[in-house]
Structure formats: structure tokens, C-alpha cells
Structure 1
């Protein structure tokens, strides 16, 4: 069955960019924007355009683009702009990494929909690679998708692909890990944990965007749309906050309490999302099928409660993984082997569920029955060991 294919490398045609700006953008595509787009030599072969509207030539070509390059959406770079077409995305100069990443994601999504629409006109309707369940009145606000179902093909396009490793050779495990504290995920996780423990709403003002943690309403508000959040999750947060296309700026982050009436207003805003759903998505976008540093893939883990799959991003085989981990503690390697699926799918589910507070790490003991009884003091030793492990893993 044919499926609409998500654009992997967006073909961009540069219009009106001087040599320096074009060089900087090429460097950006080799760094934070890697595996997202490529500049093609002939703009007529491009799927989307990159236009410098402050350049007279760029302004002229942009105005005439429907005759020269019909049907091409555009990323428009400018100090200020008015009256853009609906298929254009404005990026204010000096262009920041997260703004460019968000613009690329919007272009990729637009080109993917256009390609699928053109294909549907010529062929029978096909099952989509990802199913989006949108919010209905009285449920989740429109800014955040309530649920998205990814099959294996869509998962690879959405989060990349990682090969399995030998479960018995720890020397191969190095690339399985990432450090959440280096990303937006770590900051949001710590702030939410603090707000939840105290019951006090908090506002984090970062050089990137403002974030409000609303424990009474079980919501997190981010002054950004979903594409911007996803883009910010893809690179270390200090780069998101500090690095612009042409250099870096110093940054500071402040934390303050939010009054009860303001918290109530923010919770009802369309940029607020259920805390579990947002923590889940941020972990998926950040981990890309890896696991947090300090959590071992050969350690038994247990799913403490069933995720609300109507409100989260559903990765391949998520229901089967959840069912197994609710039934009995297993290591991540054992889950992949038992279900006959790629390890990356298990790691992605685990990282999201762990970030949402749905995972319990078990004592470092075999999951099979132990042939000989433990000595009487063993249960207390296991309890202390588990307590020590959990304390060491707390992100505070």
C-alpha cells in the first residue's frame, strides 16, 4: 500500500542571497540544520525557495516568483516584512538557529502535504504514514496535537534511524545515551519537578522562550508553537539560546513564581499542553531513540501505569511494549528481543515514559526466578540499593 512519504532532504533554491549569507546558511545546514535541507544549484529544481528580501534582486525575484518558480513555498529572510503570501515563512534577521529550524520544519511539512495531494489526484487514496488525531472542543488546545501515530517508516523520517547493538557487549553502548541536562528537556524536567513538589506555579524566562509550569492545572505553557519546540529539542539548549547565524550572545535564565490568577489564564491558553503529553513529546524529540545517561539498557524496568495513548505521540509498537512492561519487569534489550522489534523503538518509548514519570527502575537483579532464597537481610539491602539508585537518578 502506497504511503505519502515525508520529505527527508528539502531541496532549497537560494534567491537574492549574497555570497557571505549563502556561505553562512550552508554552514548552518552542515551543523544544526543537518539532514534537513540542501541548497540546489538550479532554483527551478527546488521544492522551496530561500529569499533575502532585503536584497533588491531578492525582492524583485520574490515578487515574480509565481511566474518564474510557480508553486514554490518560500522562507523569507528580512529585517521586517509585511504582506507575505500564506505559503511563505518569515524569519527575522539576524536569523537565529531555532527560527531557521522551525522554518525548515514548516517547509518540509508543506512540501510533504503538497506532494501527497498531487499524488492523491493521480492514485487512489493511501493510508497516511502518520495519523494525527486533532483536538475537539473542550479537550486539548489546537496548538498541540493530541496524538500522532507513527509507523516504522514515519518514525525513521521523524526521528532518524539507529542500528541495534550487541546486548552482551557494553563497548557498543556508547551511542545509546544522551544527557537530558544538555537540552531543553533537562531544564523543563527540573522546573516541572520543582513546581510539582511545591505545588507552586513557576515561570522560567530563558533567552529562547518563556515557559510556565502549572502543577495545579497539570499543564505546561510554552510561548512557542509545536514546530519551534521540536526544533529547539534537536540541539543542545545553550546553542538554541545563544547561537545566532552569525555569532553568539550571552544568556541568562530567571525563575519566578506565578500568581494563581495568571496561572489559571495561562492554563487556558492555546499554547498550554497537558504536562505528561508535553514531557513525553519533548523526550521523544530529544532522545531520537536513545536513553538518558545513567539508565542502563540491561537493567529491569517496569511501567507503573498505562499511558494515555489518546494524548501522546505514539511510536511504533508502543502498545506492545507497554503491555509487556506492565506485565512484568524487563530490561530494554529483553523487550526488543521478546517482541522481535528494533531496539530503537523500545528506547524511544522508554525515554518518553521515563520523562513522563511512568517508569520504575528495578533493583539490578535477574528477572528470572532466583534458584536459592536470599538471606534474611537481603530484602533490606535491595531496598536500600533501590533507594540509592533512585536518589542518584533524580534530576535536581
Structure 2
């Protein structure tokens, strides 16, 4: 039996004519993230009747192209899309695109509003016609959002000198190695089996992640140690450990070498079933696995707290799932960059529930240092 309680999402077929690749990519990205109406881009060869057609009018033959398209598709709403208004009466969508009002514009155009009148000769009248594109309620909401826009300073960090950086370094080696802090073992990395054995509680580990520019001590696991038994005691995967350490190290900061303008993409969807919980990770993964995007654009498009976005970027980049598609040249000493947000100021960042899903989940009480492990810890300390 059909479930009639499932809401049906309307599909609107959109045809782009004369629109350049950059604008097309921006519109396609926006359409993918909009759920109220399924805006679907089509091609003339698809043999599908478009409901909405955007014709770029900024080219030399823009107005002529609009006239031809209107003749070819008399039943469609053919929109003149440009920085300057047309010399004739037509539905008009002004450039540049603003994602916060784009869909209200499209909705109004589909309802027959937003029409530019060719006989307007006074600038004030023209401005009044432009204001018709957005209804009064939406305009008030938009004005309120403008007051909430703010300049946000994004602080960047480097992994060198951090516990995260040391674990990443040891993960690329072949020898089983322990990391010590103040002559006390913190954890042991087993690269051959891609596992980590914790020697401290998760709270202490989280505090150690805040240490920077530390000369971490390392010590190879003694050759006489029963390696197989130690491997069995190590329940935490190397990837899950790096993921968690990344979140604790980032703390709402942007990992170097990524900048707010660097174009990033998710190479592969990370298996988060055994990873520490990260708010909005599913939504961010679904977006980035399909669409390369820079941080400043990603933040404008998704209603996600900046802290969650930056922690996600750090975690996925650290485990190798996030790749840089288009790097930008910046000074290596640059640690901060300001960017002005163009969306409504986010709600207070949701505190990560990582503590409930931390590495200690993977280390049961019976695996705490004792017996064989306690003796090994003593040898690593030099006792």
C-alpha cells in the first residue's frame, strides 16, 4: 500500500541557455542542496519540456538569444538573467546570484512575478520593479539577516609539534612505537596492523591534544615483548584514533595547509560507524563527495556551525579522505584569515558529543594497563 504521508517534492525542470560554466556550476550546486523543490537541470537534447529557462543576457547577442528561446518554448517562463535589465518586458533575474534569496526569486518568477517592464524610464521606478522580485516578508527577513552578518576570523593550525602530528608520522613507519610525554607512555602505534593501544584515559588524551610545539618522546616496543598479545589488546583502529585526535586538536580551527579559499573535495566517504561522533558529518560528507567547494562557499550554503565544519575538515583531511582540488598560494606564516559571511549568523555551535563516542569506547576496562601491559609500560618508562 502506498504511504500517502510521505511528502511529495515538486520537480521543476530548468534549462540554462548561454550561461557560462562557472554560473552553471554554482546553480547546480545550489539546486542539489535545496530540498523544498527539486530543481533539475536539463539539456535541450533531453526532450523534456522545461518549466523555467534562464538565458544569460550579458553577452553581445543576449537579447536576441532570449527572443529566439521565447519563440521556441512559448509555454515556459523564459528569464532574462543578467547584470543589466533588458530593453523589453521580460521576467528578470539580476546578477550576481545570492544564495540566500535565489529560491525566493525563482519561486516568484514561476508565479509570474519579477517581470521587468520595458517602459520604465525613471531610475526610482526601476528600483521599485526590482523590489517586486522579493515579497515584503522575505525582504524583511533578508534585512534582518543582513544585521546578523559578521566578519569571522578563521584561525588555522599546524599539526607539527602536536600529538596528532606525531601519530600521523609514526603511522607511516613500520616499527611499533610508543609515544611518551614527560617520560610517561601515552599510546602505542602498531602500523603493521593499523591499530593503537591507549596507555592513558581519554580525558588525559584530550588534554594532551592541546599541547603544541612539544618534543614528543618515542620509544620502540622492545623486541622481547609479546607483540601478538599487544596487538590483541589494541582495539582502537589507527584511522579512528587519528580522526578523534584531529577533532580534539582542531577545536574549531582550520587545519593547515587548507585556507578558506582552497577548493576541497571528499575523495571517499569515510566509514564513520566506528569513529567518534561529529555533528553534521553526514550532511557535510553528502555534499563534499559530490561537489568541490571552498570553505567560504561551503559555509554560505550550509546552515552548519563553523566549528563543526572546521572540525570535520580537520578529521577527514587527517585520515586522507579529503583532498585539495585547487590550492591557493599563501604565506606559510599566515595563521588567520578573515571572511565576511553572507548568510544568517549561525546558532551557537553545538557542542560535540565526542566524549560519548570517544576512543575510550574502544578500550574496555579489562584493557587498561595491568599485567603484561603494565610491565611493558614500566619498560617503556625505563623503570
Q: TM-score range by the shorter chain?
A: 0.3 to 0.5
What TM-score do you get using the length of structure 2 for normalisation?
A: 0.43
What TM-score do you get using the length of structure 1 for normalisation?
A: 0.41
